Structures are given as C-alpha cells and as structure tokens.
Amino acid sequence: MSPITIYIDADACPVKDEVYKVAGRYGLKTFVVANAFLQIPASPLIERVIVESGPDIADDWIAERVEAGDVVITNDIPLAERVLAAGGSAIAPNGRAFNNNSIGSAIAQRAIMEQIRSTGEITGGPRPFTAADRSQFLQAMDQAIQQELRRRR
C-alpha cells in the first residue's frame, strides 16, 4: 500500500502553513499545486508543482494522481467529487470535510449559486475566513489522516 499523500489546491488556499505542520508531524509527502510560483518551506516532504494557467488544470493534475487514502485540500467542489470517487479524502480550508453523503448537495448548491450569479444577482461572496475555521480545518485534517492510518492497520 502506498503512503498517504497530501495535495493542496494551493492558488487561494489560506491554510497551507497548517497543512505543512500536520503533514510534517506525520511525515507525509505534500504536493503544493498552483498555476503560479508559491513560496514553500525547504523540506524533502514538500514539493511545489506549477501547472499552466487555465480552468481546472491544477484540479486535473491532482485528480490524475490522487489514490485511495490520500488527502486533498480544496475549495473546489467538482475536484472534491473526483477525489472521493478515487477513494481519497477532500477537506475545504474552513474544515468542511466532503463525503459521499454530502457531495451531491454541495454540487447542487454550487449549480444553484452559479445560476443565480449568471442572472446578474450579487450574492456577496463567501464569508470571511476566521480563526475558528482554521481550528476546524486542523481538526478535520488530523481526523482524516488518523482515520486512514487506522484503516490501514
């Protein structure tokens, strides 16, 4: 069985430093995937991947490599769906863990919001990222890794 790998959909991810700390604590390889240069810590466990600019290119790179048991940090709901289909865990930076029971409603809500925005309605955007979100994220990430480690025993 291959080791657990962490993938960060990194372009707008506010919890990269938290991911580095948790992944480092477990000794897990982490790929930071973005379409622009991002500074990363000097570590043999952390690898920067710069993909071409364009819609879903970073998502495609991650989805093509994720395996069962891997953990992906993303706000992108279609990517989360692809990760779950591959047997991985998908966690949003606010700590929302996507699962097979919740992904359908998340996709439906996303489609509704896209439809509303396409009519010119101003929806206000996401709420501000908070310290509670950061804490919830850390808990969700640790929980996903622990669950996978238990499953492998």
Look up the CATH architecture of domain 5-152. Answer: 3-Layer(aba) Sandwich (3.40)
* Structure confidence at residue 102 (pLDDT): 76
Mean of pLDDT over the chain: 90
Mean pLDDT of 4-30: 96
| CA pair distance 126, 32, nearest whole angstrom | 23
pTM: 0.86
SS3 call for 19: helix
pLDDT band of 27, cuts 50, 70, 90 = very high
Whole-Å CA distances, 119 to 77, 110, 111, 112: 21, 15, 13, 11
- pLDDT tens column, 74-119: 999 899 999 999 999 999 999 999 987 777 676 667 566 677 667 7
